[in-house]
Amino acid sequence: MTNLPVRALGPYAVSSIGLGCMNLNHAYGTPPSLEDATALLNRALDLGITLLDTAALYGLGENERLIARAVMHRRSEFTLTTKCVLDFVDGKRSLDGSPGSIARTVEGSLARLGTDHVDMVYLHRLDRRVPIEESVGALVRLKDQGKIGAIGLSEMSAATIRRAHAVHPIAAVQSEYSPAVRNPEMGVLDTCRQIGAAFVAFSPVARGLLAGAVRQADYAEHDIRAGMPRFTEPNLAHNLHAVRAYEALAAEIALTPAQLSLAWVLSRGDHVVPIPGTRSIAHLQEDVAAATVTLDDAVCARIDAIFAPGAIRGARYAAAMQAQIDTETLPDEELA
């Protein structure tokens, strides 16, 4: 196993780049075969990745079952995190932050993962019908029972994070962050630093936009980007102007666009841990190579200039999905 730089994730020391496992079963068209997904997960561990991130929702439980089949025999080699609140009931997505639902979801995750303990459970989304204190309290009880090791939050605002942290220390907060997506800079990044929580950056290559994977809106069936305003026209054509300038900068400094994005995310603070997802072992190896890249201030300033306000148009989510997001929105961010 390769040794990668290490960062803190609550009580755990993890590789500075983790692996988001979602797209092995969920959200980006037809998933890879079980054989290919298993090979990728094992290669990730071989490369020194020690953080695997999943959720009850992903693939309606299949992502957790995949991890159980593929790598739980190597359990001592990685920190494992999953999520609750978003789940599936009768084959359909549900959002329920009530204590009873949280307990059921976590029990389901443990069963699918084939274990009696998971290192961290995130509240996947804020259920506005339930006080955050009650949802966190449910996870505190599961922690006291020894079923989970730490508590995290996903896609929540600085104000909500502080309310949650007043109930029990929050080990990590997860949200989308990349050179093209700056919402966490409105308060969440600093709040995490102040309370001693890790900030886990999902989609650190902007759902492929900063990895050369998006050139036009010709997505496969069941690809969630087809319903995201910034990935569809007329916004996408506008956004690709900034992407082309960014790709030219990456080439100039002999990095791939994905490596530049990951190195930039890592530079945002020692408490930041990106979790890129991929179905390609070649891309996985490319991502891991970014763990030791250091960017100078001039390069970071050029990235900031490329992605100045207005460079990216369109909301992160369609309106129905955005309604489930508690994170701060940028002043010029379109919400429809």
Residue 200 sits at φ, ψ, to 5 deg, of -100, 115
Q: Could you tell me if residue 37 is inside a domain?
A: yes
Task: Assess contact for 121 and 83: CB atoms under 8 A.
Answer: yes
> What's the rounded Cα separation, in Å, for the pair 179 and 302?
11
CB 258 within 8 A of CB 205: yes
State the pLDDT at residue 90: 86
Among the listed residues 12, 58, 177, 317, the single catalytic one is 58
Specify whether the CB–CB gap between 183 and 176 falls below 8 A.
Answer: yes
Torsion from C-alpha of 6, 63, 94, 135, nearest 10 degrees: -30
The CATH number of the domain holding residue 19 is 3.20.20.100
Identify whether 24 is part of a domain: yes
In a domain, 313, yes or no: no
In a domain, 29, yes or no: yes
Residue 266 falls inside a structural domain: yes
Residue 108 lies inside a defined structural domain of this protein: yes
> What local confidence, expressed as pLDDT, does residue 334 receive?
58
User: Is residue 146 assigned to a domain?
Assistant: yes
Residue 334 belongs to some domain of the structure: no
Residue 58 among the catalytic residues: yes
With CA atoms as reference, report the closest residue to 197 among 232, 139, 154, 259. 154
> Would you state the pLDDT for residue 336?
42
What are the φ and ψ backbone dihedral angles of 206, each rounded to 5 degrees? 55, 50
Phi, psi of 160 (to 5 degrees): -65, -40
Q: 125, exposed or middle or buried, with CB in 10 Å at 0-12, 13-18, 19+?
A: buried
List per-residue pLDDT tens for the chain, 336 residues long. Answer: 678 999 999 999 999 999 999 999 988 888 999 999 999 999 999 999 999 999 999 999 999 999 999 999 999 999 999 999 999 988 888 999 999 999 999 999 999 999 999 999 999 999 999 999 999 999 999 999 999 999 999 999 999 999 999 999 999 999 999 999 999 999 999 999 999 999 999 999 999 999 999 999 999 998 999 999 999 999 999 999 999 999 999 999 999 999 999 999 999 999 999 999 999 999 999 999 999 999 999 999 999 999 999 999 999 998 888 888 999 998 767 544
Q: How far apart are CA 70 and CA 64, in angstroms?
A: 10
Give the integer Cα–Cα distance in Å for 329 and 267: 22
Domain that holds residue 131: 6-208+257-294
The C-alpha atoms of residue 192 and residue 78 are separated, in whole angstroms, by 23
**Number of domains, the chain:** 1
- What is the rounded CA–CA span in Å between residue 315 and residue 336? 6
Q: Nearest to residue 18, comparing CAs of 119, 114, 151, 125?
A: 119
- Rounded to the nearest 10 degrees, the angle between the axes of helix 257-266 and helix 235-252 is 90
pLDDT tens, position by position, 68-106 = 999 999 999 999 999 999 999 888 889 999 999 999 999
Torsion angle defined by CA atoms of residues 208, 211, 214 and 219, in that order, rounded to the nearest 10 degrees: -40
Give the alpha-carbon dihedral of 110, 112, 115, 120, to 10 degrees: -50
